[in-house]
């Protein structure tokens, strides 16, 4: 039986799942090759090193988890509606469940740190700008952005770490609506 032919994106997706499951150390060539049903040779066809794969996965997370989401909501004129849709997307459309908390847990990793800091800075700036558009002063908008982002990070961590103890974080539409209502002024 022929081995499957993988694209670079297949390896990146596997790396993202591994990151979410076990952090940076879980992004290892042999276990990923086994998971994908291919040899190490497939990996080296697409990447020069494990570090290159890790950087590609983090680049994907930055692009799809931040920049693409911002582009998706950009066409919404009303800043409150834009905020509501942004939160809905962020809290319900997680293509790699558990990835955000895993990256935050590895904030001191030399490969993760610069991307995590860049993404956090971009997200906070975007939130502050949106809250500013709702009429908050620059200082209030920044504080609201930090509180909102902290709530998001905490919600995703609870959903990953304690779904039984906090079932509201796992698909409860009333809890999600309540959360969004409390975050949008």
The pLDDT value given to residue 2: 53
Per-residue confidence (pLDDT) for residue 3, from 0 to 100 = 58
Residue 72, Cβ density class (10 Å: 0-12 exposed, 13-18 middle, ≥19 buried): middle
96-116 pLDDT, tens digit per residue, is: 888 999 999 999 999 999 999
Angle between helices 50-62 and 112-133 (to 10 degrees): 0
User: What are the tens digits of pLDDT across the range 34-57?
Assistant: 999 998 888 999 999 999 999 999
**Tens digits of residue pLDDT in 53-85:** 999 999 999 999 999 999 999 999 999 999 999
- Predicted pLDDT at 6: 87
pLDDT at position 4, please?
Answer: 64
Cβ count near 56 (within 10 Å): 18
| Whether the predicted pLDDT of 171 surpasses 60 | yes
Complete domains list, the chain, with CATH? 8-183 (1.10.357.10)
pLDDT at 98 (0 to 100): 86
| pTM for this prediction | 0.91
């Amino acid at each position: 039986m022929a081995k499957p032919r993988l694209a670079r994106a297949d390896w990146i997706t596997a790396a993202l799942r591994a990151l979410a499951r076990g952090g940076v150390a879980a992004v290892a060539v042999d276990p990923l090759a086994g998971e994908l049903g291919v040899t190490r040779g497939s990996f080296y066809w697409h990447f020069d090193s494990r570090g290159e794969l890790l950087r590609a996965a983090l680049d994907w997370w930055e692009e799809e988890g931040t920049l693409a989401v911002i582009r998706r909501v950009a066409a919404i004129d009303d800043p409150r509606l834009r905020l509501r849709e942004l939160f809905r997307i962020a809290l319900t459309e997680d293509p790699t469940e558990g990835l955000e908390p895993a990256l935050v847990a590895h904030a001191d990793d030399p490969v993760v740190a610069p991307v995590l800091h860049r993404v956090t800075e971009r997200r906070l700036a975007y939130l502050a700008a949106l809250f500013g558009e709702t009429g908050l002063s620059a200082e209030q908008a920044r504080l609201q952005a930090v509180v909102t982002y902290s709530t998001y990070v905490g919600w995703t961590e609870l959903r990953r770490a304690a779904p039984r103890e906090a079932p509201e974080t796992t698909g409860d539409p009333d809890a999600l609506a309540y959360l969004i209502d409390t975050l949008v002024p």
